[in-house]
């Protein structure tokens, strides 16, 4: 049975000291999961030296986009920023972006996240045409969809 993907965003901390190495167990993680037609569950896990702090929020699409806008804005304003942010978004390749690049690309990042939230793909092990989704990007000006012959 297919299940919905999750959006996962990993906030990768700066490496400090000459012997420090990147440690994925220290990354903060934001997970977005579809709960219903206009219902999303956001779980933000902040990693620290002590136990992780976990915040759970149940939002609509609009509330989620407002939240994501503020998160991206805060990343650009931070005086001790994360080194980079890695995005795992259903229907898109995984990508890593430095926090310095977020300011110039925030509208595109929000568009990709919002597109995935509106037309949530499902996870499966084989192609099933009956359960495919269409992303909002296909309706954008300048995007041409090739017809199958």
Residues 74-120 pLDDT 10s? 998 988 888 899 999 988 999 999 988 998 899 999 999 999 988 87
Q: What is the pLDDT of residues 16-31, one digit of tens each?
A: 654 455 667 788 999 9
Backbone angle region of 17, left / alpha / beta, with phi > 0 → left and psi within -120 to 50 → alpha: left
CA distance 6 to 40: 10
Q: DSSP letters of 46-88? A: E--SSS-EEEEEEE-HHHHHHHHHHHHHHHHH-SS--SEEEEE
Which residue, among 6, 56, 52, has the nearest Cα to 28 in the 3D structure? 52
């Amino acid at each position: 049975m297919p299940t919905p993907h999750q959006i996962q965003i990993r906030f990768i901390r700066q490496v400090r000291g000459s012997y420090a190495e990147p440690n994925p167990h220290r990354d903060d993680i934001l997970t977005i999961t579809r709960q219903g037609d206009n219902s999303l569950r956001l779980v933000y896990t902040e990693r620290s030296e002590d136990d992780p702090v976990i915040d759970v929020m149940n939002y609509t699409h609009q509330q989620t986009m407002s939240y994501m806008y503020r998160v991206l804005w805060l990343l650009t304003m931070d005086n001790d920023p994360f080194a980079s942010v890695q995005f795992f978004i259903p229907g898109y390749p995984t990508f890593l972006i430095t926090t310095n690049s977020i300011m110039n690309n925030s509208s595109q990042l929000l568009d990709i996240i919002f597109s995935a939230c509106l037309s949530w793909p499902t996870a499966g092990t084989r192609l099933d045409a009956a359960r495919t989704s269409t992303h909002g990007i296909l309706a954008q000006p300048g995007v041409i969809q090739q017809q199958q012959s």
